Structure 1
């Protein structure tokens, strides 16, 4: 709450990067690597009322796949390494996907909170 009694929402990008609650910016948003907690440990905001869905995962897999493919092709054309060198792209892909998915889901939940969108409807 601000000095005049109005609710102060935390910054979208900051809370997404930190993985914190979009309302208070303090409580943990995630209970696992990419699984949301049921509610904020600091302010009690119920995260189960938001539906992020699979949108972030689908777009992220396409983006990460395209980036890794281009990097693998450029590496192969420039250096012509042995085939086993390309195994490095597997952990890089997993890291980029999980890190990006966590960020995308946190940002989307924060956007739903700020816009008061719940399950495809606006709540006044």
Structure 2
């Protein structure tokens, strides 16, 4: 499926993620909710349940956005020294909004890259002599 075997209708991974497109046919069928994948594409039948994106997108986003928020919070503290409640009121909602807003894109790009690179769960394939 990788490389030359890709369907010419297959969208670029970033395009599929941004617009919720099926990584195989480009139909707008990837998501069945805000961040929940549909069970399968209604156009080409590609089963999205066979892909395993797991918690990877959320974990990376929490680390990336958490770093950005932490740097901004330290900067604000050193520059203005606001009360603690200002930090809580500012950074907790911004962190949640940042992660939730990015999660759909991160999950979409990961499933699209899994499809494009024919990635599957790790399996040990015995050498030819053992079959």
Q: Could you tell me whether the CA contact under 8 Å between 1:27 and 1:41 is conserved in 2?
A: no
How far apart, CA to CA, are the structure 1 residues paired with 2:54 and 2:33? 16
Aligned residues: 116
**Runs of 4 or more off by more than 3 Å in structure 1?**
none
> Counterpart of 1:94?
96
- Matched with 2:52 is 51
2:127 aligned with 1:115, yes or no?
A: no
- Which structure 2 residue ranges, 5 or more long, are not aligned? 1-5, 124-131
TM-score (norm 2): 0.78
**What is the TM-score normalised by the length of structure 1?**
0.82
For residue 7 of structure 1, what is the aligned residue in structure 2? 7
Q: Could you list the runs of 5+ residues in structure 1 that have no partner in the other structure?
A: 1-5
Deviations 1:48-95 (A, max 9, x none): 111111222222211111111111111122123333322121221111
Mark the structure with the bigger radius of gyration. Answer: 2
Report the RMSD for the aligned CA atoms in angstroms: 1.7
